[in-house]
Copies of this chain bind each other. A is one copy, B any other.
Amino acid sequence: MILYPLTYERIVRRALEEDLGLAGDLTTNAIVGDDVRATARIVARAAGRIAGVEVAASAFRLLDPRLVVTVHVVDGCDVEAGSTVADVTGPARALLSAERVALNFLGHLSGIATTTRGIVEAVRGSGAHVVCTRKTTPNLRALEKHAVRMGGGMNHRFGLDDAVLVKDNHVAIAGGIGAAVSRVRVAVGHMVRVEVEVETLAQLDEVLALGVDVVLLDNMTTDELRLAVATVNGRAVTEASGGIRPDTAPAIAATGVDLLSVGWITHSAPTLDVALDVDAPPGSG
C-alpha cells in the first residue's frame, strides 16, 4: 500500500481547520511578526519506528507552501531517542501554528508502527505474520493500516467490501456455519477471498470441506490451535485471534498458525513521543 497525498491531504487540511478554528493561532499571531523566519527540528523524544512523516510534513506545507520540510527519517525506519526526524524552515508563524497537527499525526502513526514492531519482533523466527484488524480510529484507517505495514505487520481487510469474513454473528443468524458459508459461495465474486471464524474443531472440518481461503481461530488455547493447524494441514491459511499481546504472542506463534490478528496495535497503541524544537535565532542566548 501507498499513501497518496490525494488521500491524506484532505484529512490533514481538516485537522488544521479543527485546530485553527475561526480566529486562528491567537498566541503566535500576537507574538511572532509576519516576517520572522525560523528553523525547527522534529525530534523523537523516545526510541521507536517512524510512520507518517510525509503526512506530518504536509501539515506544514498545506498551511504555508513556503515552509520547506526536509525529511531525514523515512517511514519504516527506527530511531533512537533524540533523533531528528525532519527539519522545517520558513515563516515562523505558520511553522508554530502547524506544529501540533503535524506532531499529532506523526506521534499517533509512529506509535502504531512502534507497537506493531514490538509484536513482530516477539514472534520473529516463528514464521507467523502479524496482521491488523478493522478496529481502527474512525476516518484514519488508510493511515493506520499504512503504519502497521511500516511496523512490519501485514494488512487484513481494509473494509467490509474487499473480502468476506464470516463471524459468529453471521453464523447465528444463518443458523449454522455450513449454511453461512454455502450462501457466501454462491453470492461472492471470483475476485473475493473468503475467511471463516471457527470456534471448534467440528466447525473447522465443516468449513474446510466447503472450501475457504482462510480460517480464523478465535480465542483458542495453544493446544487447540496446534490441533487446528494440524487439522487444516495446508488446506487454508490459519489465523489466530483473541487478546494477543507481546507476552502471549510467542506461544501462539509457536503453534504453527500462519497469522496473528492483533487489534491492539491499532486501537490501543500509545503515541510515540515526538516534539518540535525551534532553533534559537542567531544572537539569542
Give A residues with C-beta under 8 Å from B: 1-4, 6-7, 11-32, 36, 38, 40, 62-63, 92-93, 96-97, 99-101, 103-105, 107-108, 111, 131, 134-142, 145, 154-167, 169-170, 172-175, 180, 183-184, 186-193, 195, 213-214, 237, 239, 258-259, 264, 267-271, 276-278, 280-281, 284
Contact = CB atoms under 8 A, between A and B. Distances in A.
Contact of A169 (B3, B17, B20, B40): B40
A interface, over-half SS: mixed
Contact of A18 (B22, B97, B99): B22
A166 to B, nearest CB: 6
A1 B29 contact: yes
Given A108-B267, A172-B278, 6 more contacts: A7-B24, A21-B21, A30-B188, A104-B267, A169-B278, A173-B278
B160 A284 contact: no
Given A18-B138, A139-B139, A191-B195, A23 B169 contact: no
Given A138-B11, A138-B18, A169 B96 contact: yes
Contact of A192 (B104, B163, B169, B173): B163
B158 A137 contact: no
A24 B136 CA distance: 18
A63 B4 contact: yes
- 3 tightest A-B contacts by CB? A21-B161, A268-B270, A30-B187
Contacts of A162: 21, 23, 26, 161-163, 191-192
B284 A101 contact: no
Contact of A172 (B22, B189, B284): B284
Contact of A170 (B2, B19, B96, B136): B96
Contacts of A100: 134-135, 160
A96 to B, nearest CB: 6
